[in-house]
Structure 1
Amino acid sequence: MEDVIGIIVAPIIIFMIFVAPIWLILHYRSKRKMSQGLSEQEVAEMKALSHQAEAMGERIKTLEAILDAESPQWRNRA
């Protein structure tokens, strides 16, 4: 019985000494970073990505219009 308790207690102690503190530090560091919001660089990147997505959407609409004109049944093939 004491061997079973020793087998269970040893990993718990190792976890509490090494893993738990690192886990808590990383958890609260990420929480703090999330509460600060986006940085200026991240906002600029989001705006650039949004602009690229809008441009890509327009390109897709143009390509679909071309395909509709040249091959009206192209949507049914997929």
Structure 2
Amino acid sequence: MEDVLIPLIVVPVLFIAFPWIIFHYMTKWKQAKTLTGSDEKLLDELHDAARRLDDRLCSIERIMTAENPNWRQQCLPGRTESPRLLADGE
């Protein structure tokens, strides 16, 4: 009985179950490499938000430059002098 039962279990497992599992996960891995529709929509929304923030930053920089043309030199990192002292010429 065992001589017949073991081949009846082993053959389908080797030629049906293992290839099915391998091809199933290969398909899942290929699908995971691409962006889904919701991912693309989120990426477009983030791009639009970044563009709007960049526009706002440019507007703020234009306003700051109109009010004080030297504001960029006063805001450089690593400066120990206060901006008021630099504006007074000291």
* TM-score (norm. length: structure 2): 0.48
Q: CA deviation at 1:55?
A: 0.5
Equivalenced residues, count: 49
* TM-score (norm. length: structure 1): 0.55
1:71 equivalent in structure 2:
68
1:18 equivalent in structure 2:
none
Is the counterpart of residue 38 in structure 1 residue 40 in structure 2? no
Q: Which amino acid aligns with 2:54?
A: G
- 5+ residue gaps, structure 2, are 1-24, 76-90
Structure 2 counterparts to residues 1-78 of structure 1, below 5 A: 32=29, 34-35=32-33, 37-78=34-75
Q: Which structure would you say has the larger RCO, counting Cα contacts within 8 Å and 6 or more residues apart? A: 2
Q: Which amino acid aligns with 2:47?
A: S
SS in 2 for 1:46: helix
1:9 equivalent in structure 2:
none
The percentage of aligned residue pairs carrying the same residue is 27
Q: CA deviation at 1:77?
A: 1.0
